[in-house]
Amino acid sequence: MATHGKVEDIVAEIMKPIEEETGIELVDVEYRKESGGWVVRVIIDKIGGITHDDCAIVSDKVGEGLDAGDPIPHQYRLEVSSPGIDRPLKTEKDFERFKGEMVEAKLFAPYKGKKKIVGRLSGYDEESIDIITEEEEHISLLREKISTLKLHIRF
């Protein structure tokens, strides 16, 4: 029987040659039970944006890989999509790509009375994320204190 971590790891392995061949990058994998049954959700992105054809290519290849290895002991639905405009930032690659962009950090506990910090991503290391707020305050947040970090979109 597959464990949650195992399915995500298997999808990440299946994606490696796809990333190398196409430039399509794996952003995230979710494997969970929802109201309609089990879902394997693969979130992808690439410079210039994701097309319907990109989703179809990834869906076919990931589906073939999962069918071949048969790691999931029950029926599931495979979904492939782009992260959308408010994409979460999770990897070193994300931090490097979006350095200098406006981000929104949601925190587990308040920082100076705020649970949400908005500002420009100015740096990062293994332990922390650095943000410069619109008030020009330089803030260094420990990664373990951040529940989500995503691009900040203004309308």
Per-residue model confidence (pLDDT) at position 69: 83
Quick one: the chain helix, strand, coil %, rounded to 5?
30, 40, 30
Per-residue model confidence (pLDDT) at position 154: 78
Q: Are 58 and 28 in contact (CB under 8 A)?
A: no
Per-residue model confidence (pLDDT) at position 2: 47
Which residues have C-beta within 8 Å of that of residue 133, sequence separation ≥ 6? Answer: 117, 118, 119, 139
Q: How far apart are CA 151 and CA 154, in angstroms?
A: 10
User: For 8-48, what is each residue's pLDDT tens digit?
Assistant: 999 999 999 999 999 999 988 999 999 889 999 999 998 88
Per-residue model confidence (pLDDT) at position 23: 92
Per-residue model confidence (pLDDT) at position 28: 87
Question: What would the CATH number be for the domain defined by 92-151?
Answer: 2.30.30.100
For the chain, where do the domains classified as CATH 2.30.30.100 start and end? 92-151
Question: What would the CATH number be for the domain defined by 4-81?
Answer: 3.30.300.70
Write b or e for each residue in 39-68: b if 16 or more Cβ atoms lie within 10 A of its Cβ, otherwise e.
ebbbbbbeeeebeeebbebbbebbeebbee
Torsion angle of the four alpha carbons 116, 118, 124, 128, in this order, in degrees rounded to the nearest 10: -20
| Alpha-carbon distances of 88 from 7, 9, 73, 85, 99, rounded to whole Å | 20, 19, 30, 9, 13
Per-residue model confidence (pLDDT) at position 92: 85
Residue with tokens 């290895």: 69
Question: What would the two tokens of residue 97 be?
Answer: 């790509």
* Residues in the chain with pLDDT values less than 50: 1-3
Q: Whole-model pTM? A: 0.68
Per-residue model confidence (pLDDT) at position 1: 40
Helical axes 4-22 vs 52-69, angle rounded to 10°: 130
For the chain, where do the domains classified as CATH 3.30.300.70 start and end? 4-81
